[in-house]
């Protein structure tokens, strides 16, 4: 989803890539529209978003997913492989797959998660909190004071 704040092709054109064109949120006295998980899933099912929109629902707001660099990608890969190697039967590793959290108006897509059951259990729905045993978001160190990744 791209928001164009001035007509396309003009010198002042600015694409916000789904972020609000207002710095710090909406104008005073205005409230952003919040989505429920059901509304978000209906929009996804209807094709309202394109694959390149890269959005997830967090606390009722559409949030653009971060671009993943090489360090993030290899960290995620190492993480899910390590988890998979020690995972007990009856659990599966999910990579960048949604978790449905209606009580929080959220459907995040963590880098790695572990859910109870088999892949077939989630053909018609995403797992919820009662079925998810682990959620991992990979973060790349932001400071040289943090120990380097091996």
Question: Please, which residues have CB within 8 angstroms of residue 32's CB and are 6 or more apart in sequence?
Answer: 20, 25, 26, 61
pLDDT band per the 50, 70, 90 thresholds, residue 35: very high
Please indicate, yes or no, if residue 112 is contained in any of the structural domains.
yes
Quick check: is 52 in a domain?
no
**0.75 cut: is pTM over it?**
no
Residue 124 lies in a domain: yes
In order, the DSSP letters of 17-49 are TTS-SSTTSSPTT--PPP--HHHHHHHHHHT-S
Q: Is residue 91 part of a domain?
A: yes
For 69-123, the pLDDT digits (tens) are: 899 999 999 999 999 999 999 999 999 999 999 999 999 999 999 999 999 999 9
Provide the domain count of the chain: 1
CB atoms within 10 A of CB 122: 17
Does 76 map to a domain? Answer: yes
């Amino acid at each position: 989803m791209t928001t164009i704040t001035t007509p396309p092709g003009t010198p002042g054109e600015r694409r916000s890539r789904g972020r609000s064109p207002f710095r710090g949120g909406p104008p005073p006295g205005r409230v952003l529209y919040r989505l429920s998980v059901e509304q978000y899933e209906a929009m996804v099912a209807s094709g309202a978003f394109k694959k390149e929109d890269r959005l997830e629902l967090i606390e009722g707001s559409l949030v653009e997913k971060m671009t993943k660099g090489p360090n993030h990608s290899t960290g995620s890969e190492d993480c899910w492989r390590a988890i998979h190697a020690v995972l007990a039967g009856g659990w599966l590793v999910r990579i960048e797959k949604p978790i449905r959290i209606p009580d929080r108006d959220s459907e995040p897509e963590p880098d790695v998660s572990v859910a109870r059951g088999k892949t077939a259990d989630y053909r018609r729905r995403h797992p919820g909190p009662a079925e998810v045993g682990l959620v991992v978001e990979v973060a790349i160190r932001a400071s040289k004071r943090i120990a380097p990744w091996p």
